[in-house]
Structure 1
Amino acid sequence: MLVLWEILGGIFFFGFVGFFSLILFSSLFGCFGFILFWAALIGLVMFLNISLKWIFISVVVVYALLLLKKYLRYQELPDYDGYLATNNNAYVNGKVICKHCGSEHLVHQGLFGRAGRLRYYVCVRCRNWLYRFKVI
């Protein structure tokens, strides 16, 4: 069973890292950057004798912590009525504006993807999260 986890963790980890290295390093440094990244990563894993299982577990834990942080930040946002009640100058000429920079250009984004039911409004200019809402 341990060997199976080792193989699955290695496939997932190197596939995940390879995908992002292909996007990031190829666009920054070209093909040489892609090869350099893989050489450095494989050398580091061999030098430190790191088990791929622990790398996979640490990546999953960090990802879960970042999702939890994002969800807690979402929960701290006021809803639409709360945003307007606490910011008297946030509603001008029939439009909601950003309380930080005064911009009228706001977009709503899904918390965990484009089609997510948990959504929040963001100012386009200053990128501050303003208020949340839930799609029914």
Structure 2
Amino acid sequence: MVFFEILTSLFLMGLAGLFSLILISSMFGCFGFMLFWGAMLGFFIILDISFKWLLIGILAFYGISITLKIIRYYQMPNYDEYLSMNANAYQHGQVVCCKCGSSSVANLGLFGMYGKLRYFVCTRCRNWLYRFNVL
């Protein structure tokens, strides 16, 4: 019974995340977002699903996604390694994407706009290029 409860909570959490973030908020705005979560809470009460397992599922999802993001960040090459691995990555005084050749790259933070763990992404093909740390 506990296994079924955990499995149902994880499934509903994924379904709720998909519909609330992608579909509902784009179709109905903030009111649709609140309406959806009100309906989901009612659904949890009707099915008698424990909120404890929902909370554990949410925390596990965010923990796994943060861990995977950090692992992917540290597997990326730094600036010097990127240029040495890709001979055509530096053209006309600019770093370009090794996949599509675009010189339009964006500087992003791993955990937000002001994070110290930064990386460059090609804005055309969304390829992660290289990482660097802000001192």
TM over 0.5, yes or no? yes
Partner of 1:129: 128
SS at match of 2:66: helix
Partner of 2:79: 80
TM normalised by structure 1 equals: 0.75
Cα distance, 1:120 vs structure 2:
0.3
SS at match of 1:88: coil
The 1:55–1:135 alpha-carbon spacing in structure 2 relative to 1, beyond 3 Å, is same
Distance in 1, Cα, partners of 2:31 & 2:134: 46
SS at match of 2:120: strand
Partner of 1:107: 106
Cα distance, 1:110 vs structure 2:
0.5
Distance in 2, Cα, partners of 1:109 & 1:41: 34
CA RMSD of aligned residues (A): 2.6
The 1:22–1:95 alpha-carbon spacing in structure 2 relative to 1, beyond 3 Å, is closer
Partner of 2:7: none
Q: Which residue identity is paired with 2:95?
A: V
Cα distance, 1:97 vs structure 2:
0.2
Cα distance, 1:52 vs structure 2:
1.0
| 1:119 paired to 2:118 | yes
SS at match of 1:57: helix
Following superposition, which runs of at least 4 residues in structure 1 exceed 4 angstroms of deviation? 20-24, 30-36
Distance in 2, Cα, partners of 1:120 & 1:35: 34
Residue correspondences, number: 118
SS at match of 2:121: strand
TM normalised by structure 2 equals: 0.76
Identity percentage of aligned residues? 53
Distance in 2, Cα, partners of 1:117 & 1:32: 35
